[in-house]
Structure 1
Amino acid sequence: MSDAEPGLRERKRRATRLAIQQAALRIAIEEGLAAVTVDEISRRADVSPRTFFNYFPNKEGAILGDDPTLPDDDTLVDFVAGGPTGDLLADLGALLVHSTRELIEERGLIEERQQVLRAAPELFSRRMESMKEFQAAIEGAIVARFAAAADGAPDASGEPPERRRRARLASLVALAALRHAWWEWSDAGSDTHLVDELERSFADLDALVSRSLV
């Protein structure tokens, strides 16, 4: 992996977050969504309801798990300013790698969540909406990057229309690379990490765009 392994405190936090999600999903699979309650999740995960709410706002959040979010630190500031390399796709890859570091890496969790969501269209819709929000956030960051580098006259929306169009395309390409990484990671052996697969997916994307694979 690119970064050092997390410390003991962080490992405990991730283990608790994983245990809560596992409990929520297994209750839903074994007993149905109606049986999923905060109290029952907490009992199975061996945590207090108060601890549960330190990690998730409600039982649906525990079932849906974590979606990636853009960082709110200097990583995003650097991206908008044109960094870290000046190449848009490479920098998008670095930004998404940073965004996915907090995600729980547990293949069994993914399989169980997919099983639950297939039987719960309303939760599936919420999951898709959250990913749509993430795409919009990426698009906004790219627009800001373009605006920082451009000197064209804006339209009524505050930016040239072509800038927004290209930003949307780039954000969708970035999410496609993220989805590709998820698929490759879920199919790979236990010694791989999601972050590593994401870095590989963006490297492959760069190779395709540069035509080095054709």
Structure 2
Amino acid sequence: MPDPEPGLRERKRHATRLAIQQAALRIAVEDGLGAVTVDEISRRADVSPRTFFNYFANKEQAILGDDPRLPDDAALQAFVDGGPSGELVADIGALLVHSAQAFFTERGLVAERQQVLRANPELFSRRMASMQEFQAEVQAAVARRLERADPVLAADPEGLRRRAGLAAVIALAALRHAWWEWSASDAGGELVDELERSFAELDALVSRSLV
């Protein structure tokens, strides 16, 4: 289930982070990527350049938003140890939901970000690279879990790699499905809710005998 609502301080940080991203994307849409500078983003977002760098390392990151990352905490270790349910697909879903809650995804940024990515192949390539890195993180976590759970598979590095890779590809497909459904929906709601739903539907598919 989703974590509790963030407090006032976290909501203020979210508002500042959102304002910076909105400013960066608006400049890129209106004037082109070459017009995007830290100073201009800061001016439009009404923050100082120092504040900008408290949130983003550079202007490209402000345009692209947060890269997906697995949590480096107890949730990741619980997954590796076989939890929380003992069912691999469901547990990957729970891990990704937990991970997604660390990042604020604003529906209002989606259209402009897609427009900027289409117009700037170098940024699109950077986004694809970050997703490949995330897939590799998921694969590594799954491999650690399978290695602990199955000594026979642990003794077969190629088989372990293939099985963990397949699980990671399936997980990222479910994540993309959730994002598409969320970004196309007019009903509101949170991305993490759609992610939970997509993994529940995936679990139902793989658990059902197809005839």
TM norm. shorter chain > 0.5: yes
3-state secondary structure, aligned to 1:70: coil
Aligned-pair identity in percent equals 71
Whether 1:167 aligns to 2:179 is no
Distance in 1, matches of 2:210 and 2:47, equals 50
Question: Partner of 1:185 in structure 2?
Answer: 182
Whether 1:50 aligns to 2:50 is yes
Say whether the 8 Å CA contact 1:207–1:213 is kept in structure 2.
no
Q: How many residues align?
A: 211
Whether 1:106 aligns to 2:106 is yes
3-state secondary structure, aligned to 1:72: coil
Moved over 3 A (4+): none
3-state secondary structure, aligned to 2:83: coil
Question: Partner of 1:141 in structure 2?
Answer: 141
Distance in 1, matches of 2:152 and 2:157, equals 7
| TM-score normalised by L of structure 2 | 0.95
3-state secondary structure, aligned to 1:66: coil
Q: 1:181 to 1:153 in 2, by over 3 A?
A: closer
Whether 1:198 aligns to 2:195 is yes
Question: Partner of 1:10 in structure 2?
Answer: 10
* Letter paired with 1:40: E
Bigger proportion of residues as helix: 2
Q: 1:212 Cα shift?
A: 6.6
Say whether the 8 Å CA contact 2:146–2:153 is kept in structure 1.
no
Q: 1:178 Cα shift?
A: 0.5
Whether 1:77 aligns to 2:77 is yes
Q: 1:172 to 1:153 in 2, by over 3 A?
A: closer
* Letter paired with 1:194: L
Distance in 1, matches of 2:121 and 2:108, equals 21
Say whether the 8 Å CA contact 2:3–2:101 is kept in structure 1.
no
Q: 1:4 to 1:152 in 2, by over 3 A?
A: same
- 1:32-84 C-alpha deviation (Å, 9 max, x unpaired): 11100000000001111001001111001101111221001100000001111
- 1:92-134 C-alpha deviation (Å, 9 max, x unpaired): 0000001111222322201100000101001100000000000
Could you tell me which runs of 5 or more consecutive residues in structure 1 were left unpaired when the two chains were aligned.
none
* Letter paired with 1:58: N
Q: 1:138 to 1:188 in 2, by over 3 A?
A: same
